[in-house]
Chains A and B, each alone.
Chain A
């Protein structure tokens, strides 16, 4: 039996320079579904909510209060959409990856669809976006000098600390991306392994587990992004 799982996402085709992988396709589907659902939810916004609107109101309200608690009401307006989008995007794509059809339908010898976050490209892309936005906010809130002061100082001790923190920034990106990738990829492998042993009923507990993991990882990614943003855009506690 050939290797059960491949780390690399399978390429379905090319659009000019862009390789269309099955994970990229899955991310587009997740985006599409999210967009459609959100348009449906807010098509007729009512003061007395019902149906989809009330569900999303609960989610948005909870997300907004969480961001507000951590970041303060001023920065919450800027941070909230990003944090919430990370959460919803990752959550939807994780759960979408559990749908039937993923990793089963083949297209020209390759899997047609594959859970988005089981490809390091996708998670690394999200983590880099998160880091880029975080630093952009830091520059916006602190000014370019205040931002640079975080990393570089004339005091040799602080210079060293700053350099360490700079390395820490790289680690943040790696940990964010690898955590998400590892969890979802491992889940895929576990599901595949159990399904190949006995495809009926046996994978069910693992599916439940994956539902929870998918939610938790989305929440972790979003919360960490929020915390990084808050920390980085805060002024240094002691300034000389």
Chain B
């Protein structure tokens, strides 16, 4: 124990240092470890949470993308269908229109032919009657008399035949 004395070991001082340590332990526990460990824990929790959130967001994004792809595919198909249908319809309409136009044109042509024929007939008749009258007048002048209706007609017909 002599050596301990040489080092100046004093039980009171040993106890004092022990007390020092315990006091410091409590001070640091209260002011350093507890708040810092709490904040570290909280940060860890936050990071885990945000990582989870990010994962979820990613998942949702992928889902949305898939949905959009499906929708776009559907829309494209539909659009193609619409285009095909309208093309078919267009062709059909065109043919129909052509047909109708053809028919109309034919009709118009027919009608105008008929009209022309009728006109021609009318003109012919008119010309004939006028000519008959002219011929009759000429005959009257030439023969000096008025032929009866019967002979008049005969003469007219004969002269027309000669004329034509």
A→B interface (CB under 8 Å): 7-9, 17-19, 21, 24, 27-28, 31, 34-35, 38-39, 41-42, 45-47, 49, 53, 56-57, 60-61, 64, 80-82, 84-86, 88-89, 119-122, 124-126, 128-129, 132
Whether A19 contacts B10 by the Cβ 8 Å rule is: yes
Whether A35 contacts B31 by the Cβ 8 Å rule is: yes
CB distance from B13 to the nearest CB of A (A): 4
**In the complex, which residues of chain B have a beta carbon less than 8 angstroms from the beta carbon of A89?**
21, 24
Whether B8 contacts A38 by the Cβ 8 Å rule is: no
- Which parts of B14-51 form the interface with A (CB within 8 Å)? 14-18, 20-25, 27-29, 31-33, 35-40, 42-43, 46
B→A interface (CB under 8 Å): 6-10, 12-18, 20-25, 27-29, 31-33, 35-40, 42-43, 46
The CA of A80 and the CA of B28, in the complex, are separated in Å by 11
> What would be 5 A-B contacts, judged by CB atoms less than 8 Å apart?
A42-B36, A49-B39, A124-B14, A125-B13, A129-B18
Q: Residue A34 contacts which of B13, B28, B35 (CB distance < 8 angstroms)? A: B28
**In the complex, which residues of chain A have a beta carbon less than 8 angstroms from the beta carbon of B21?**
85-86, 89, 125-126, 129
The CA of A45 and the CA of B27, in the complex, are separated in Å by 16
Whether B24 contacts A31 by the Cβ 8 Å rule is: yes
**In the complex, which residues of chain A have a beta carbon less than 8 angstroms from the beta carbon of B6?**
7-8
With A60-B36, A82-B25, A121-B17 already in contact, 4 other A-B pairs whose C-beta atoms are closer than 8 Å: A31-B24, A38-B28, A64-B37, A132-B18
CB distance from A199 to the nearest CB of B (A): 28
Whether A61 contacts B40 by the Cβ 8 Å rule is: yes
Whether B32 contacts A60 by the Cβ 8 Å rule is: yes
A125 and B18 in contact (CB under 8 A), knowing A35-B24, A45-B36, A89-B24? yes
Q: Residue B9 contacts which of A28, A31, A56, A120 (CB distance < 8 angstroms)? A: A120
The CA of A56 and the CA of B36, in the complex, are separated in Å by 8
**In the complex, which residues of chain B have a beta carbon less than 8 angstroms from the beta carbon of A124?**
9, 14, 17
Whether A121 contacts B31 by the Cβ 8 Å rule is: no
- Closest B residue, CB atoms, query A77: B37
The CA of A157 and the CA of B20, in the complex, are separated in Å by 41
Whether A57 contacts B17 by the Cβ 8 Å rule is: no
CB distance from A94 to the nearest CB of B (A): 15
The CA of A120 and the CA of B7, in the complex, are separated in Å by 6
**In the complex, which residues of chain B have a beta carbon less than 8 angstroms from the beta carbon of A119?**
8, 13
Whether B7 contacts A18 by the Cβ 8 Å rule is: no
**In the complex, which residues of chain A have a beta carbon less than 8 angstroms from the beta carbon of B23?**
31
CB distance from A181 to the nearest CB of B (A): 8
Whether B32 contacts A38 by the Cβ 8 Å rule is: yes
For the complex of A and B, 4 pairs with smallest distance between CB atoms: A125-B17, A8-B8, A38-B32, A121-B13
Whether B16 contacts A18 by the Cβ 8 Å rule is: yes
CB distance from B149 to the nearest CB of A (A): 132
**In the complex, which residues of chain A have a beta carbon less than 8 angstroms from the beta carbon of B43?**
47
Whether B40 contacts A120 by the Cβ 8 Å rule is: no
CB distance from A45 to the nearest CB of B (A): 5
Q: Residue B31 contacts which of A31, A38, A57 (CB distance < 8 angstroms)? A: A38
Whether B32 contacts A56 by the Cβ 8 Å rule is: yes
- Closest B residue, CB atoms, query A123: B17
